[in-house]
Amino acid sequence: MTELLSPKPTGSVIAAPPAGEAPSDAAREALRRARDHLLGLQDEAGWWKGDLATNVTMDAEDLLLRQFLGIRTAEQTAESARWIRSQQRPDGSWALFHGGPGDLSTTIEAYLALRLDGDPPEAPHMATAAAFVREHGGLAASRVFTRFWLALFGHWPWSRLPAVPPELVLLPPWMPFNIYDFACWARQTIVPLSIVRALRPVRKLGFTVDELHVAAAPPRPPRLLSRPGVLHRLDRLAAGYERIARGPLRRNALRRAAEWIVARQEADGSWGGIQPPWVYSLMALHLLGYPLEHPVLRSGLAGLDRFTVRQPGPDGPMRWLEACQSPVWDTALAVTALSDAGLPAGHPALERASTWLLSEEIRVRGDWAVRRPHTPTGGWAFEFDNDGYADTDDTAEVILALRRTNVPADAAVLRATRWLLGMQCRDGGWAAFDADNTREVLGDLPFCDFGEVIDPPSADVTAHIVEALAAENLADTAPVRRGVAWLLRAQEPDGSWFGRWGANHVYGTGAVVPALVAAGLRPGHPAIRRAVDWLRSHQNPDGGWGEDLRSYRDPAWVGRGESTASQTAWALLALHAAGHGAGEAATRGVRWLVDTQRPDGGWDEPQYTGTGFPGDFYINYGLYRLVFPISALGRILDARATGLDVEVLP
């Protein structure tokens, strides 16, 4: 390991590229335009935030929530319906991401929302949607969340849904299946969902959905001796208990669940700053008797309005909801990008941003402390108001950003560094929100088909933390060495790394290579060479890089997809870190960025390159297409100008 972490040798590189290969004035002009465009997007308070787009289930469920609570208005419905219609695919379906295939559950929920706006089943766009649903198995084949929504309005029997007993909240953290075995986003959803499931309400939609049913025999239960088979039988036992649950135990469970929910409401009215626990928490508390005028519900509903984006449409105004917001993440990345573009550490924009970031530091204990009770507080979260759920990924990026400015931040960075060290998992990697949250059996529970329900270490998060700790002169410490060893073990056989929170292997590889080099691995190390070879072999003919989100389910898509600005930048950042920023692949990538830049300095990127749940939930970050190209261009142009970025000998 000592050899692996030794400084870069000076004898393993060739001379700087010929003068004819120097960066063009066009590349520098592209960087200037992008930098100025990003500067113009900064809020007066110091932060940046791009729109965060997901899929139309956010908008459909917002209308269904308002229908359930009795507060839906015709104006809201019409505006949301216009947006939903604008996203329908030619085959009648709705997808999870731009350019993706139709998704059954998303299509069902969108269909319900349009019925709320009065679209008749016989309308052509509705008929094609219903045909898609029937062709793909009908309501019975949809995900559990969708069938929960149907049950809330009497279009699916509660008895045919998996059990989610609220008594789970009473289990101590050392017992299997306690709520802290689940990832933070899952536990925040499961607790209110258990209340709704226990009370089994039925409200009216005002229409039927018989046209979405398909006659089919119920699915056969999994094989008894298999893990899913055992969990299926346990679910049936829990369902039997649900039918007779009465008395003090059930009342205590409901009371404790409500207290747990209320204690975790954020200052902006949300729960975790994300949509699923937010809507279920509002419904659960209302079912337990909280009136809409109660401060908790009033704050929660007002918070949803702040997550609403309105924009003009051909038939009138449209509204859509962000599933979450990313100001801390966006601001940290913007600071780093602008620094890479040449802004001095004392630039007013960087100082305002750093001052704002310091004001967002989290000094309270969250759910992470259940597994790490002795770890001191520190760090940052993703959203404006999410004190209960600091995350290691944002914390690492904020540390890196703060060190690019002149604003005094030593105390906050020290606290954050200690927190990151305390959050390292036993295997040497880092997860996003919790430590050692790896009980894989939970994914086989019948009600856990809504995406990833645990938070294991990932290559991209571990890489960002290794890079941040290395920047704090901790590369030679045992935690960083263990993190490096984890990353080397996690490398895929083809030389790439899996991207948990970004699409996908291009993101993972773009994060890991700079981190390994920052931690001391030489660019000639076999792992780095294999990663560079993978990137070169997956460059598109047009010079860019792209990876379709279907790569999470279909290996044929790994490293394949339309070129995007963000993914091209990730590949360039890795090539630069590995000493290949002056090579042919990087030169072609830079040329692609120059040729596709808009006049205003940005890039078009309708493709989704962010990941919520691999295979189930994806994100289009509005600033990814800007901050990452700026960093890539800035680093490559600076290194070429100084003669430091040279090709490593094969």
Q: Average pLDDT, stretch 316-325?
A: 96
Cα distances from 345 to residues 230, 341, 412, in angstroms, run: 58, 11, 18
User: Is 616 within a domain?
Assistant: yes
Catalytic residues: 393
- What are 57's two structure tokens? 């289930």
Question: 474-483: buried (b, 16+ CB within 10 Å) or exposed (e) per residue?
Answer: bbeeebbbbb
Q: Average pLDDT, stretch 570-595?
A: 96
How far apart (Å, rounded) are the C-alpha atoms in residues 191 and 183?
12
User: Is 177 within a domain?
Assistant: no
User: Is 244 within a domain?
Assistant: no
Q: Average pLDDT, stretch 79-93?
A: 98
pLDDT at 11: 29
pLDDT at 221: 74
Residue 211's Cα: distance from chain center in Å? 34
Question: What are the pLDDT digits (tens) for 471-483?
Answer: 999 999 999 999 9
**Measured in Å, how far apart are the chain's first and last C-alpha atoms?**
22
User: Is 552 within a domain?
Assistant: yes
Element (H, E) at 612: strand 610-613
CB neighbourhood size of 415 (10 A): 18
Domain ranges, residue 14: 1-40+511-650
Q: Which residues share a beta bridge with 611?
A: 618
- Specify whether 2 is located in the same domain as 130: no
How far apart (Å, rounded) are the C-alpha atoms in residues 610 and 499?
10
pLDDT at 380: 98
- Specify whether 59 is located in the same domain as 126: yes
- Specify whether 26 is located in the same domain as 99: no
Question: What are the pLDDT digits (tens) for 166-198?
Answer: 999 999 999 999 999 999 999 999 999 999 999
- Specify whether 13 is located in the same domain as 66: no
User: Is 248 within a domain?
Assistant: no
- Specify whether 32 is located in the same domain as 62: no
- Specify whether 577 is located in the same domain as 639: yes
Q: Average pLDDT, stretch 38-66?
A: 97
- Specify whether 21 is located in the same domain as 63: no
User: Is 586 within a domain?
Assistant: yes
Closest CA to 462 of 416, 411, 497, 493: 497
pLDDT at 17: 37
In which residue are the tokens 């929170």 written?
Answer: 501
Give the chain's domain count.
2
Q: Average pLDDT, stretch 457-477?
A: 98
- What are 393's two structure tokens? 């990924």
Residue 244 has pLDDT above 60, yes or no: yes
- Specify whether 21 is located in the same domain as 61: no
pLDDT at 235: 65
pLDDT at 100: 96
Total residues belonging to the chain? 650
- The phi, psi pair for 178, rounded to 5°, reads -70, 160
Half-sphere exposure of 611 (CA within 13 A, CB side): 27
Contact indicator for 73, 65 with CB cutoff of 8 Å: no
pLDDT at 641: 65
Q: Which residues contact 310 (CB under 8 A, 6 or more apart)?
A: 79, 317, 318, 319
Strands (E) located in 101-257: 102-103
Question: What are the pLDDT digits (tens) for 100-115?
Answer: 999 999 999 999 999 9
User: Is 181 within a domain?
Assistant: no
pLDDT at 639: 73
Question: What are the pLDDT digits (tens) for 15-29?
Answer: 333 333 445 789 999
Q: Average pLDDT, stretch 228-249?
A: 73
pLDDT at 443: 79
pLDDT at 566: 98
Among 160, 186, 221, residue at a domain's last position: 160
pLDDT at 223: 74
- Specify whether 36 is located in the same domain as 112: no
Does residue 571 sit in helix, strand or coil?
helix
Closest CA to 333 of 398, 262, 423: 398
- What are 273's two structure tokens? 């700053």
What percent of the chain is predicted at pLDDT more than 90?
85
User: Is 641 within a domain?
Assistant: yes
Among 114, 133, 160, residue at a domain's last position: 160
pLDDT at 219: 73
How far apart (Å, rounded) are the C-alpha atoms in residues 21 and 633?
15
Element (H, E) at 413: helix 410-422
pLDDT at 451: 74
Among 114, 145, 160, residue at a domain's last position: 160
- Specify whether 515 is located in the same domain as 644: yes
Residue 136 has pLDDT above 60, yes or no: yes
CATH number, domain with residue 528: 1.50.10.20
Residue 13 is given by DSSP the state: B
Q: Which residues share a beta bridge with 437?
A: 455
Q: What one-letter code names the amino acid at 215?
A: A
Residue 567 has pLDDT above 60, yes or no: yes
- Specify whether 619 is located in the same domain as 646: yes
Residue 640: pLDDT band by 50, 70, 90 thresholds? low
Q: Where are the alpha helices (DSSP H) in 430-525?
A: 459-471, 478-490, 505-518
3-state helix, strand, coil in the chain (%, to 5): 50, 5, 45
How far apart (Å, rounded) are the C-alpha atoms in residues 198 and 241?
11
Q: Average pLDDT, stretch 417-440?
A: 97
- Specify whether 600 is located in the same domain as 625: yes
Q: Average pLDDT, stretch 78-104?
A: 97
pLDDT at 144: 92
pLDDT at 23: 52
Does residue 69 sit in helix, strand or coil?
helix
What percent of the chain is predicted at pLDDT more than 70?
93
Q: Average pLDDT, stretch 511-518?
A: 98
Question: What are the pLDDT digits (tens) for 341-373?
Answer: 999 999 999 999 999 999 999 999 999 999 999
